[in-house]
Structure 1
Amino acid sequence: MSSFSYILQQITIYYGIPVLAAGLVGGTLSSIVFLSLKTFRQSSCAFYLTVMSIVNLGQLITGLLSRIMINGYGSDSTTTSVFYCKLRYFLLQFCTLLSLTSISLATIDQCFTTSLSPRWKRWNNLKIAHRLILLFTIVWALHGILYLVFFVQIYSPDLGKITCGVTDATFLLYHSYGYFLILSGFLPIGITILFALLAFYNIRRSIHQNVPIFHRELDRQLTMMVLVQVVVNALTLLPSNVLTAVLRNSSAISNPVVAARVQFAQSLSILWYYLNFTSPFYIYLCVSERFRRQFIYVIYGMHFNRRKRPQIVINQIVPTN
């Protein structure tokens, strides 16, 4: 085992496992909070964030957990089961795209919320949110059929073993550039940054004009949560996309040592990439005092204390004649 491979194995285990655990706990708790409170259930932006929290759990299980098992412990189930080989990449692309779509729609939603035009505010509609999520769920599920078709088990002469991969050159080109760099990379980053800047511009404009842009505390809370999430998304997604783009043109790198270093850096950036799906709950706790109070109320007030309440047993005494 080379030094790069050993270092990557250790980082995958000792960094990946805590990130996975934090993501599963955080995603579960944020889903519980969003689904438990009526104020969130009636908000289109909160609905997008709820969907994102749920599919992030699937993304971490199919993506990060599998990467830990493969790179950390050398256990790759995709090489022993054709079904799992296809299913893993289907679920991975589906959860990734739906998660990034949800945060993109949430950012657009908050741009409309902060707009001074009533025409744009009408788009903050829960029915529209439900229809958009249903539409993109169908679109990304249909998109995943390509992965069910083209991902197969192949024998790699370089590695001397069976791997799960793609043999079709056209689809491999699409997966590398169309899916990874555009659909799950620069496109959602660009959309979220653009509409986050527009929302920030709307807020600044309303301050200068002394217009009460936020009519509810919930709007202010969700806007802050989404805007900070956009910044974290850019910081976690960009490195892997840039290094992947460089690696796809590795033929221009003549030095094998430099190529190995780029490959190592790209593997590390993918581990860093998963912070995007782990961080939302902890971002909400840090930036929103109201969310912290809501979290405590939901966990301890609604669920924990309910279990501790004593059950009143009514004894029925049958009268004797």
Structure 2
Amino acid sequence: MSSVSETLTNIQNEAAPYIYYTELFLGFISCSMNILLFSRRQFRTMSISISSVAMWTTLSTGVISCIYTIHYADPSVTSVFYCKFRNYLQIFAYMIMRWSLAFACLDRVALSSSNIRWHSFSKVHVAYRVVAIMIVTWLILPVPSLFYYNIKGPICAAIYNRATQYYHPIFIIITGFIIPVSIMIISAFLIYNNLVKKRKRRQLMNTQQQQQEIRNQTNNQQRKRDRQVLWILLCQSIAYICATIPWLIYLTYSTIAVSVTNKSSERLVIERFAYFLVEPIQYLFPMSSFYLYVMTSSMYRKEFIMLIRSLLPQRWFNNNNNNNRIIPITDSSNKRIVNGPQIQLKTTEEVMNPSENIPTPATGIIIK
């Protein structure tokens, strides 16, 4: 083995534990926080919640299996069932994650639309139906992978023939990248147009009904909320595209190079190292989604802080300083309750006759 091959192999063996353990730790926090936050009333969006669950499934089937192979023998090269089922489950989880993000974008388009017919598609029962159809569809479509994935030498890979040589990569590229990304980009433009139309209508209504200060304050809050929704959508689409492109490049190369049979050992090592580089990148979006939302949305940050406060003991946030409490005081002369701090007040009569009106320590206040 040449020095280049040895160097790449050593880098891969040394860096793999740090990369995958970091992705598993950060990804677990990210997916768990997304599931908790998007289940709350303010951010209750069905597609996003399903996407967070799919992200966690993707990390579990991908990262945990990679960590296992670092310390033990890879079961995918010894068990045909595990080889087939693992790849089937990964394709299912990846596609659920991608298409749930795309449907979340369409849900926001319907929610921001002023058209009653389009707006009705953002209801909860519609989201349940769409999610059910999406899950059933992606349980069926990856079934061919159970036939062409098999153990080939020292690895579990797709056994290509003339039928599957181009079917699998084209299927993944079209259904996993081109269509979802196109939906995200088109949805971003549609949401922007809907928000612009809403803003114009609000301005016309406010000029007829509200005062200038109230109108400006309301418009600023609504514009801020609209910008955050659009900004989250754009950042989400950009992050997804950036995390998917390296894998698509490798998939395209492997499809073209599959017909090459006389590969040198050094080229095989370089190809395995390239796969080692792109495989963790495809987990970056599930791992970083929560942190992306926190950085881009102040509403999301506030809801996250409220969630943390609800999980921690309330005594940590209570003010234990009892010196500033306001206690009601009963006047002994007419039994009236006076709400106020315990300070001594004097009436006009007391000022004129200070010797006759001395407040008792029990009441603290004399009112006549």
Q: TM-score range by the shorter chain?
A: 0.7 to 0.9
**1:164 matches 2:172:** no
**1:226 matches 2:233:** yes
Partner SS, residue 40 of structure 1? coil
The whole-number CA distance in structure 1 between the counterparts of 2:158 and 2:258 is 20
Larger Rg: 2
Aligned to 2:210: none
Residues 76, 82 of structure 2: 8 Å contact kept: yes
Residues 77, 83 of structure 2: 8 Å contact kept: yes
Residues 186, 238 of structure 1: 8 Å contact kept: no
Q: For 1:116-127, list aligned pairs within 5 A.
A: 116-127=114-125
1:204-229, CA deviations, whole angstroms, 9 ceiling, x for partnerless residues?
555567667x9798776544433321
Unpaired runs of 5+ residues, structure 1, are 309-321
Aligned to 1:9: 13
Partner SS, residue 73 of structure 2? coil
Q: Which moved more, 1:193-202 or 1:26-35?
A: 193-202
Aligned to 2:359: none
Aligned to 2:307: 298
Aligned to 1:67: 66
Residues 192, 230 of structure 2: 8 Å contact kept: no
Aligned to 1:319: none
**1:40 matches 2:33:** no
1:147-206, CA deviations, whole angstroms, 9 ceiling, x for partnerless residues?
334433x341xxxx4x32333522353222212x22222322222122223323443555
The whole-number CA distance in structure 1 between the counterparts of 2:27 and 2:295 is 15
Q: Which amino acid aligns with 1:164?
A: C
Distance change in 2, residues 1:115/1:9 (3 Å): farther
Distance change in 2, residues 1:146/1:246 (3 Å): closer
The whole-number CA distance in structure 1 between the counterparts of 2:198 and 2:280 is 40
Partner SS, residue 108 of structure 2? helix
1:299 Cα shift? Answer: 3.0
Aligned to 2:99: 101
Aligned-residue sequence identity (percent) comes to 23
The whole-number CA distance in structure 2 between the counterparts of 1:89 and 1:265 is 19
The whole-number CA distance in structure 2 between the counterparts of 1:122 and 1:210 is 21
Q: Which amino acid aligns with 1:194?
A: I
The whole-number CA distance in structure 2 between the counterparts of 1:86 and 1:155 is 12
The whole-number CA distance in structure 2 between the counterparts of 1:266 and 1:273 is 11
Aligned to 2:290: 281
Give the number of the structure whose residues are more often helix, by fraction.
Answer: 1
Q: Which moved more, 1:245-254 or 1:73-82?
A: 245-254
Q: For 1:155-304, list aligned pairs within 5 A.
A: 155-156=152-153, 161=154, 163-167=155-159, 169=161, 170-179=163-172, 181-204=173-196, 206=198, 221-250=228-257, 264-301=273-310, 303-304=311-312
For the aligned residue pairs, the C-alpha RMSD in angstroms reads: 3.4
1:295 Cα shift? Answer: 1.6
Aligned to 1:143: 141
TM-score, normalisation: structure 2: 0.69
TM-score, normalisation: structure 1: 0.78
The whole-number CA distance in structure 2 between the counterparts of 1:66 and 1:235 is 24
Q: Which amino acid aligns with 1:4?
A: L
The whole-number CA distance in structure 1 between the counterparts of 2:7 and 2:129 is 50
**1:30 matches 2:34:** yes
Q: Which moved more, 1:285-294 or 1:111-120?
A: 111-120
**1:52 matches 2:60:** no
The whole-number CA distance in structure 2 between the counterparts of 1:307 and 1:149 is 59
Aligned to 2:214: none
The whole-number CA distance in structure 2 between the counterparts of 1:263 and 1:109 is 40
Residues 240, 269 of structure 1: 8 Å contact kept: yes
Residues 85, 164 of structure 1: 8 Å contact kept: yes
Partner SS, residue 113 of structure 2? coil
The whole-number CA distance in structure 1 between the counterparts of 2:123 and 2:226 is 13
Q: Which amino acid aligns with 1:142?
A: I
Say how many residue pairs are matched: 295
Aligned to 2:360: none
**1:19 matches 2:12:** no
Distance change in 2, residues 1:252/1:87 (3 Å): closer
**1:114 matches 2:112:** yes
Aligned to 1:312: none
Residues 12, 271 of structure 1: 8 Å contact kept: no
1:63 Cα shift? Answer: 1.4
